[in-house]
């Protein structure tokens, strides 16, 4: 199963959703999004635990993921 997370899962009003095959890849995506879109310079010490608690398992559908953000 794939790993999924969204900004909404983390308590943000943002439609971003990331999906990856591993937790490590998912962390890279959410951290990059936080830095580039939300301009986060430094993540709090408890951020890793908050992300881990918010990860959902399922099957990624890249086409649905891209279309959600107008890229289809």
What pLDDT digit, counting tens, does each position of 36-46 carry? 999 988 988 89
Q: Give every CB contact of residue 32 below 8 A, 6+ residues apart in sequence.
A: none
pLDDT given for residue 53 in this prediction: 94
pLDDT given for residue 34 in this prediction: 92
* pTM (2 d.p.): 0.75
Vertex 26, ends 33 and 17: CA angle to 5°?
55
Per-residue pLDDT tens, the chain, 72 aa: give them.
Answer: 899 999 998 888 898 989 999 999 999 999 999 999 999 889 888 999 999 999 999 887 654 554 455 444
d(CA 43, CA 28): 13
Domain boundaries, the chain: 2-68
């Amino acid at each position: 199963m794939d790993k999924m997370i969204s900004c909404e899962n983390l308590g943000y009003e943002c439609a971003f959703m990331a999906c990856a095959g591993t937790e490590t890849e998912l962390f890279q995506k959410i951290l990059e999004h936080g830095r580039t879109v939300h301009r986060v310079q430094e993540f709090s010490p408890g951020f890793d635990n908050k992300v881990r608690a918010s990860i959902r398992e399922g099957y990624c559908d890249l086409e649905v993921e891209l279309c959600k953000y107008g890229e289809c």
